[in-house]
Structure 1
Amino acid sequence: MVYVLGLDVSMNSTGWAVLSIDSEGVVHYVDSGIIKANTKLNHGRRLRKQREAFQKIVKKYPISFVAREAGFSRHVKSTQTLFKAYGVTEEFFAENDLVEYAASTIKKIVGGSGRASKEQVEAGIRKKLKLPTAHVFASDDESDSIGVALTLIQDKKLSKGES
């Protein structure tokens, strides 16, 4: 069994998802969630909480591959804050050869178009992982992280055909 971790990194609500690929090359949904930070805490404490959550995930699952959605720039201050969280993931997953994918690449692979809506991406996730339509994602951060993991699986050709 090969385990893949997908991340949608932010300072306040990082989405994470673990998918597995079995010996037949079939992709399975394993676990996912969000790392929610108390916005009243300083950046250092929020980053520590994120790192501690990563430690729990890798302790529970033997992660082989890690990917995150690539960062972007909007406003200088918010971008600087976001990249502090990116630094934590970069350092923590240094041994896993962390890779990044642009949002448009994730949308294309999972949602069928580089301009796919959140709803189209979620529908693509449900289809690829055979999740019931009743499956509720905790947030867009969680569903985005699943999309990141699926993108890595397709990019690295870890599965056989459609999952």
Structure 2
Amino acid sequence: MRLLGIDPGSRRTGFGVIDIDDGRPHYVASGCVRINADDLGQKLAQVYAGIAEVIAVHRPLEVAIEQVFLARNADSALKLGQARGTAIVCAANHGLAVHEYAARRVKQIVAGHGNADKGQIQLMVQSTLGLSDLPQEDAADALAIALTHFFSSRGTPMPSASGTRGRRSSSWRAFRPPGTV
């Protein structure tokens, strides 16, 4: 089974593709759809075209996307919601089921707590998928969303960096970047 995770944005929309083989996730691809237009309609067209290309190249069976969150800036939240809606419509137009996950849920599943920062998400995605380098932030978030869908839909906990299953609060400490609590 192939899953596509999407981290929507109005300047960069992250994507992450994983395969599920023998009940384990395996990295396929990740990256960002970079939005370089000024006009809102053109920005959304670029999001749509970029996601459509990822779908055409990688042929996922399901899509997972981050839910809208409340932002301090209403204008930013609206732009994010428009990019998110565009990605959902693209997936739906390609006949794919779309599953939504709150950012806090993604952090809980991937890092073991709902207040994880982007660096922690990057490190856990790298560890879980056996990547040699840290994925770019938006791509890491998209991979984390795909991993959340996989582990949530199967009812199994994500393995920790130490190879055990369950909460990673104690095993995560070894991966915290310097200067974090």
Judge same fold: TM > 0.5, yes or no. Answer: yes
**C-alpha distance after superposition, 1:64-103 (max 9, x if no partner):** 1101111122222222222111221221122322111111
User: 1:104-115, aligned counterparts within 5 Å?
Assistant: 104-115=104-115
**C-alpha distance after superposition, 1:101-136 (max 9, x if no partner):** 11111111111111122222222112211223xx03
Aligned partners of 1:64 and 1:112: how far apart in 2? 27
- Decide whether the 8 Å contact of 1:25 with 1:160 is kept in 2: no
**Matched residue type, 2:126:** R
User: 1:144-163, aligned counterparts within 5 Å?
Assistant: 144-157=141-154, 162=159
- Decide whether the 8 Å contact of 1:107 with 1:116 is kept in 2: yes
Identity score, percent: 29
- Decide whether the 8 Å contact of 1:68 with 1:101 is kept in 2: yes
1:124 corresponding residue in structure 2 = 124
Aligned partners of 1:15 and 1:37: how far apart in 2? 11
1:34 corresponding residue in structure 2 = 32
Aligned partners of 1:147 and 1:161: how far apart in 2? 11
Aligned residues, how many? 157
Q: Which structure would you say has the larger Rg?
A: 2
Higher relative contact order (CA 8 A, sep 6+): 1
User: 1:6-155, aligned counterparts within 5 Å?
Assistant: 6-22=5-21, 24-38=22-36, 40-74=37-71, 75-94=73-92, 95-132=95-132, 135-138=133-136, 140-155=137-152
Per the normalisation by structure 2, the TM-score is 0.79
1:27–1:146: structure 2 CA closer, same or farther, 3 Å change rule? same
**Matched residue type, 2:100:** E
* Counterpart secondary structure, 1:63: coil
Aligned partners of 1:118 and 1:76: how far apart in 2? 22
Q: 1:159, CA displacement in angstroms?
A: 8.0
Per the normalisation by structure 1, the TM-score is 0.87
* Counterpart secondary structure, 2:120: helix
How much is the aligned-residue C-alpha RMSD, in angstroms?
A: 2.0
- Structure 1 alignment gaps of length 5 or more: none
